[in-house]
Amino acid sequence: MRILGIESSCDETAAAVVEDGVSILSSVVASQLATHARYGGVVPELASREHLRAIVPVVRAALEEAKSTYPDLAAIAATIGPGLVGSLLVGLTFAKSLSFARGIPLIGVNHIEGHIHAAILNARVEFPAVALIVSGGHTHLFEVTEGFRYKLIGKTRDDAAGEAFDKVAKLLGFGYPGGPVIDELAPHGNPRAVKFTLAKMKGNALDFSFSGLKTAVLRWTEARELDDEIRARKELLAENPKPSAEEWLAVTPPATLDLLASFQRTVIEELLRRAVSAAEEMDARALIVSGGVACNSGLRAATEELHLPFPVYFPSKALSTDNAAMIAAAAFPKLERGEFTDLNAAASANLTLAEYN
C-alpha cells in the first residue's frame, strides 16, 4: 500500500512515496535555505511563495522517482500542523485537491508525529518508548505506547534546542541555520572550557529551558572583543554561502571554538539527562530521538557513550530534518485503522500531538 506524503510546514517543500509504512520509494526535498539564509531565519511570506513555486514539481518528481501514478496510491498524507500557517496551507490544499480530484483518501498528519516515525520507519520498536523531538521549532519529550499513543511529559518553556543553535550561530556571525556549523566546529574546541549552569526547572523537572544558556553566551561575547572575527565570518559568508570547515576555522580563534564546543555540550547534556530520566521513570524499552537537532554528531556520540539498557533510534541524517517520507510513514498506521481526514479540515499552526495528563 503506497502513500504519497506531502510536507510544507516550514521551509522545505517535500513529497515522498512510502510503501507499507516502511519502504521509501522516493523522497524529494526542495530546500528554501538559500532564500532565507540572508535574513538569518525563515521569513513566513517568502516561505509560502516558495512552497507555491515548488509544490507541483516536487510532487511530480516524487511520483516519477517512485514509478507510481495516482491509481497506485492508497492515501495522500499531508502535514496539517504545527507550523507556519501560510506554508501548511500550500501542501494541505494541494493534497486536498488531489484527494478530491482523484478520489484518494486524505490523511492529515501532525508534523511532530512525522518526526517520530522518521526514526522508526523500519524498526520494530518495543513500547513504552520515550521520544525526544528536537528541532528548530520544537523540543518535546513524549511517552509513546502501543498503537502510537502519545503522552506529553516535557517540553521547552522558551526556545527550542535548534533555535538555541541558530541564535548562538547568528550572534557569532555563523549565519543560518546554526546547528550544522556548530556541529562541524565543536570538535575543534574544548567542551569543558566554558562552564554553563544547567537549567533547573520548577514544577515539571522534565521541561527544558534554553534561554538562560543563550543569555550566558551573549554575556560571554559581550565580555570580549569579538567584532573583528564576527566581521570576518560575515564577509566569508557573503562571498561563499557554504564555507568549508577549514574556511570557518581560519576566521574562528580557539576561544570561540571552546565556546561553541561548551555550548553544544551543554545543550546535549540538557537533552539527554531529561530523556534518560524519563526513560528510567517509565521503564522504557526504547528511546527515539528525532528532528533537525538529531543530526548532531555530538548528540549521537554522547547517546552511544551512555550505553543505555534499551535501543536508541535515530533517523538517518536525511530523515532527521524535515521531509515527507516521515509524513507518509506516520500516515500508514492511520490508513490501517481507517482514520481519514475530512476535506474541510483546517491547517493548524499550533496543533499539539499530546498534552500533559
Q: Which helix (H) or strand (E) holds 133?
A: strand 129-134
Q: Does 296 bind ligand KG4 (CB under 6 A)?
A: yes
Asked if 11 is part of the footprint of Zn ion (rule: CB under 5 A), the reply reads no
Locate 352 and state its grid cell.
499539539
Number of residues that bind Zn ion (CB under 5 A): 2
- 320 lines the binding site for Zn ion (CB under 5 A): no
Pairing of strands 139-145, 129-134: antiparallel
x-or-dash string of contact with ligand KG4, 7-46, rule CB under 6 A:
---x------------------------------------
Least distance from C-beta 271 to ligand KG4, angstroms? 11
Distance in angstroms (rounded) separating the CA atoms of residues 30 and 167: 24
Instruction: Determine if the peptide bond prior to 128 is cis (ω within 30°).
Output: yes
- Looking up cell 523531538, which residue turns up? 133
Binding mask 147-166 for ligand KG4 (x = CB under 6 A): ---------------xx-xx
Pick from 48, 79, 135, 156 the residue near Zn ion by CB under 5 A: 135
Minimum gap (Å) between residue 115 Cβ and Zn ion: 6
* Cβ neighbour number for residue 314 with a 10 Å cutoff: 20
The residue to which cell 531529561 is assigned: 274
Which is nearer to ligand KG4, 154 or 292 (by Cβ)?
A: 292
- CB atoms near residue 86 (< 10 Å): 18
Q: Which does 180 bind (CB under 5 to 8 A by kind): ligand KG4, Zn ion, none?
A: ligand KG4
Q: Which stretch binds Zn ion (CB under 5 A): 56-64, 131-139, 142-150, 225-233?
A: 131-139
Name the segment binding ligand KG4 (CB under 6 A); options: 29-37, 175-183, 301-309, 331-339: 175-183
Residue corresponding to grid cell 516535557: 154
Do residues 260 and 182 lie in contact, with contact meaning Cβ atoms separated by under 8 Å?
yes
SS3 11: coil
Q: Which is nearer to Zn ion, 29 or 194 (CB)?
A: 29
C-beta of 274: minimal distance to ligand KG4 in Å?
A: 17
* Terminal Cα-to-Cα distance of the chain (whole angstroms): 35
H-helix segments, 147-193: 161-171, 178-185
* Interface residue list for Zn ion (CB under 5 A): 135, 322
* Interface residue list for ligand KG4 (CB under 6 A): 10, 135-137, 162-163, 165-166, 177-180, 183, 291-293, 295-296, 321-322
